[in-house]
């Protein structure tokens, strides 16, 4: 069983730097709670945002990713009550206070057509109550504060869901392992209408300070802390927000959920192309992912009797054991992707996909669960989406391999940075989840000395992440402020500008702060 979420009585157990700043924030939240509800909160639930260093849009394909938690986070100050109400308030005046019933046998409803901030809290609340079978939940007074920019690609929505789930569990005296909490958070966030994977929730709950996380999803969830190489000067990462808002829930049918559907239909057609669609591992699973297709096709039966499955690619200590197997298998699949979809570089219509799968369009719609996650497209670009998924997985594996190599002759800045740049190119050209501002910011960053620059998060706006030498941080940020922010958002000054572009390091995962 994985560890439980830590209980902390000192902020030094949560944050490694700027303790006075964090202390002032916690005190401000506590006083605001008293001003709002007339009582001191019992505890604060904390869940951080995260930045994905590499591995975009492939968690829901079953492939590993490489994120790290960041310091910006969601805090929920909480007090249990005997009334059958959950009261929500937010320090940000943009978000109105709200109340919903938690009376026994009262269903918590989430209206996906109304894009309200409280829906994310309700997802976490409902996930917790349903998972632990709480027949008579306590009422809750909650005050929420966030330092994660909204709709920025830094997993703020998942951090809110996770912190709400944690708060609800603790109020009701329930405790689960980190792994169980992640699985609940992934499932309940889909109630909002986002057909996502599990990277954001895993990174928010299970991250370790000073380490990025190599997260595997198939055949089981497995998290391996990976430290960045020791270099002179040290490696640093700068996050820069384009300030182009991209709300996954609002644009899901033409952006995020559409990409999920394209990879899911791609997996179905790829399995048929490879002659394995009728095998139970492909036929009886929902959803079928590219990772499942790859593992089944390259199982012992299909690669000369040698076990090519990825289950043993890493040993118990998490050290790279079968990297070359990963690389070989992913290269093989990229060739098969070209054979399977290369005849339709412009994409497939619904009718063409249904015909290829021996389905009616209605049956195809049911197979991809459009009743829950509707999508809109004239053509589905299966070739490009599959090419991105398999090549991005290859970059993630190579990124970890380089980090763990310990080779003193390796130019870590150059090699890791090049993988990040290739990822951005693939996100832009194959997965089409970039935008003009993201492309411009990455271009400016590379001219300013970034070895690697790419979008992070869902894309279509939001944030970028840049690999630079720590000695160049101040000058690098100054160039971004002058060449990008002064041009696009000249009104942004002071703390607001500093919040848009900042250096970051791997931070700790979720925690409870208990008042001593």
Cα separation, 267 vs 294, in Å, equals: 9
Identify the sign of the CA torsion 269, 271, 275, 276. Answer: negative
- Sorted by sequence, the CB contacts under 8 Å of residue 233 that are 6+ apart come out as 469, 470, 471, 472
Task: Give, in order, the Cα–Cα distances in Å from 222 to each of 203, 282, 316, 348.
Answer: 11, 22, 11, 35
List 57's β-bridge partners, or say none: none
Task: Give, in order, the Cα–Cα distances in Å from 308 to each of 228, 315, 317, 322, 328.
Answer: 28, 15, 20, 10, 9
Is 22 strand, coil or helix?
Answer: helix
Task: Find, among 228, 230, 233, the residue nearest to 408 by Cα.
Answer: 230
- Sorted by sequence, the CB contacts under 8 Å of residue 401 that are 6+ apart come out as 320, 323
Q: Check whether the bond before 46 is cis (ω within 30° of 0).
A: no
How many Cα atoms occupy the beta-carbon half-sphere of 437 within 13 Å? 19
Task: Give, in order, the Cα–Cα distances in Å from 72 to each of 54, 147, 209, 423.
Answer: 19, 5, 13, 24
Active site members: 200
CB atoms < 10 A from the CB of 133, how many? 7
Cα separation, 389 vs 265, in Å, equals: 13
Cα separation, 265 vs 409, in Å, equals: 43
476, two tokens = 């690098």
- How many residues are listed for the chain in this entry? 516
How many Cα atoms occupy the beta-carbon half-sphere of 404 within 13 Å? 20
Is 67 strand, coil or helix?
Answer: strand
The answer for 30, left when phi > 0, alpha when psi is -120 to 50, beta otherwise, is alpha
User: What proportions of the chain, in percent to the nearest 5, are helix, strand and coil?
Assistant: 45, 20, 40
122, two tokens = 């309700």
Residue 465 near residue 51, CB atoms below 8 Å: yes
Read off φ and ψ for residue 77, nearest 5 degrees: -80, 135
- Sorted by sequence, the CB contacts under 8 Å of residue 173 that are 6+ apart come out as none
DSSP labels, 194-218: ----SHHHHHHHH--TT-EEEEE-S
Q: Check whether the bond before 168 is cis (ω within 30° of 0).
A: no
């Amino acid at each position: 069983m994985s560890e439980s979420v830590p209980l902390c009585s000192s902020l030094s157990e949560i944050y490694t730097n700027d303790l006075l700043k964090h202390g002032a924030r916690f005190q401000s939240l506590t006083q605001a709670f008293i001003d709002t509800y007339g009582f001191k909160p019992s505890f604060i639930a904390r869940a951080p945002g995260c930045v994905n260093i590499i591995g975009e849009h492939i968690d829901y394909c079953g492939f590993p990713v490489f994120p790290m938690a960041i310091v910006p986070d969601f805090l929920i100050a909480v007090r249990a009550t005997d009334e059958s109400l959950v009261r929500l308030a937010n320090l940000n005046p943009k978000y109105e206070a709200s109340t919903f019933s938690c009376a026994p046998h009262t269903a918590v409803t989430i209206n996906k057509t109304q894009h309200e901030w409280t829906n994310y809290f309700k997802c976490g609340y409902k996930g917790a109550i349903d998972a632990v079978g709480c027949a008579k939940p306590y009422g809750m007074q909650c005050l929420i504060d966030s330092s994660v920019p909204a709709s920025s690609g830094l997993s703020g929505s998942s951090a809110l869901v996770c912190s709400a789930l944690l708060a609800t569990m603790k109020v009701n005296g329930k405790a689960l392992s980190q792994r169980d909490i992640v699985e609940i958070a992934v499932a309940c966030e889909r109630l909002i209408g986002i057909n996502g994977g599990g990277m954001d929730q895993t990174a928010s709950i299970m991250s370790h300070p000073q380490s990025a996380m190599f997260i595997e999803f198939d055949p089981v969830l497995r998290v391996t802390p990976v430290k960045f190489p020791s270099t002179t000067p040290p490696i640093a990462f700068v996050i820069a927000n384009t300030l182009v808002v991209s709300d996954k829930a609002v644009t899901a049918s033409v952006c995020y959920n559409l990409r999920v559907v394209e990879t899911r239909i791609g997996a179905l057609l790829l399995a048929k192309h490879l002659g394995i669609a009728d095998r139970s591992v492909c036929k009886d699973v929902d959803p079928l992912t590219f990772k499942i297709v790859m593992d089944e096709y390259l199982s012992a039966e299909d690669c000369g009797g040698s076990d090519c499955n990825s289950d043993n690619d890493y040993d118990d200590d998490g050290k790279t054991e079968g990297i070359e197997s990963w690389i070989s298998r992913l290269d093989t699949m990229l060739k098969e992707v070209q054979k399977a979809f290369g005849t339709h570089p412009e994409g497939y219509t619904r009718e063409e996909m249904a015909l290829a799968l021996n389905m009616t369009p209605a049956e195809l719609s049911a197979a991809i669960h459009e009743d829950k996650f509707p999508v809109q497209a004239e053509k589905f670009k299966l070739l490009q989406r599959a090419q991105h998924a398999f090549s991005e997985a290859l970059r993630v594996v190579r990124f970890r391999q380089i980090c763990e190599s310990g080779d003193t002759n390796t130019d870590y800045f150059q090699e890791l940075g090049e993988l990040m740049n290739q990822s951005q190119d693939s996100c832009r050209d194959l997965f089409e989840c970039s935008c003009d501002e993201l492309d411009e910011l990455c271009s400016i960053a590379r001219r300013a000395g970034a070895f690697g620059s790419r979008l992070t998060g869902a894309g279509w706006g939001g944030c970028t992440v840049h690999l630079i030498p720590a000695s160049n941080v101040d000058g690098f940020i100054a160039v971004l402020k002058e060449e990008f922010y002064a041009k696009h958002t000249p009104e942004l000054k002071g703390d607001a500008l500093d919040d848009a572009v900042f250096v970051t390091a791997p931070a700790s995962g979720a925690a409870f702060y208990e008042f001593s």
